[in-house]
Amino acid sequence: MDFTMNDFRLDGKVFLVTGAVYGIGFEIACSLAEAGARIVFNNLTQESVDLGIDNYKKAGIEAKGYICDVTNEQQVQSLVEKIKLEVGSVDILVNNAGIIKRTPMIEMEAVDFRQVIDVDLTAPFIMAKAVLPEMIKKGGGKIINICSMMSELGRETVSAYAAAKGGLKMLTKNIASEYGQYNIQCNGIGPGYIETPQTAPLREPGHPFNEFILGRTPANRWGETADLAGPAVFLASKASDFVNGHILYVDGGILAYLGKQP
């Protein structure tokens, strides 16, 4: 079949994105809604779910939110069943929920290390495991894992996060390997340094970290959440049906660049 721009459309597809009340997950959800997908998201509390629904309404999007702890397998299985009954079985899953703890490795408690691994790696496993059976039955589906440049690089104070994201990269490849035969594509998006409210203090002109990032990025700027929209729609759509087990780094070229010569 010849390619058409309709291959990027997601009309009627049920899209579940974890933890997408704001930030990267919210931007990805908005972009998929623009392409026609029906948006479903989760968060830990009713307060956060209500905030998310309000944020989507302000963006002109009707979204359905659920309370769910993505590290709890029983809650996740119940969530997926509830979505199937109330909206439809999940066609596209984006594992967006994540945490980071910036602590030097020798000062980090094992319980904190395990928490990061649980949220950033074990939860995507649990989520994927929950949606895969229906995807197999329907003859296809899309799973997108939000990875990180830390799946390729190390940096001070992020040992748990880097370990989790490195594991998530390999989980992505393994899901593709194991379930590609069912027309299921599992890929990752690896954001670079993105402008968010959390990074605002670091982006002040003259801040050493801001200068460091600009000097390491060929694009000479921080990324915007909107930079992730196109890659997300591509990986969620029919246009990427022969792309599997790939991590698409949206980083302005950092991973290709050694940095400015002194």
Q: Of 259 and 147, which is predicted with more confidence? A: 147
pLDDT, tens only, 14-25: 999 999 999 999
Spatial separation of the C-alpha atoms in residues 96 and 155, rounded to whole Å: 21
Residue 27 in contact with residue 226, Cβ under 8 Å?
A: yes
User: How many Å is the Cα radius of gyration of the chain?
Assistant: 18
Q: What is the mean pLDDT of the chain?
A: 96
Identified catalytic residue from 22, 56, 66, 161 = 161
pLDDT, tens only, 21-61: 999 999 999 999 999 999 999 999 999 999 999 999 999 99
Decide if 43 is inside a domain. Answer: yes
Decide if 155 is inside a domain. Answer: yes
Specify which residues 194 forms β-bridges with.
Answer: 223
Residue 120 in contact with residue 98, Cβ under 8 Å?
A: yes
Please name the amino acid found at residue 59: A
Say whether 66 is catalytic.
Answer: no
pTM of the full structure: 0.96
Decide if 216 is inside a domain. Answer: no
φ, ψ for residue 64 (rounded to 5)?
Answer: -110, 130
Task: Look up the domain containing 143 and give its range.
Answer: 5-196+224-256
Decide if 215 is inside a domain. Answer: no
Decide if 218 is inside a domain. Answer: no
Decide if 156 is inside a domain. Answer: yes
Decide if 74 is inside a domain. Answer: yes
The pLDDT assigned to 198 comes to 77
* pLDDT band with cut points at 50, 70 and 90 for residue 246: very high
Decide if 243 is inside a domain. Answer: yes
Closest to 178 measured CA to CA, from 232, 129, 105, 240: 129
Residue 1: pLDDT above 70? no
Q: How many domains does the chain have?
A: 1
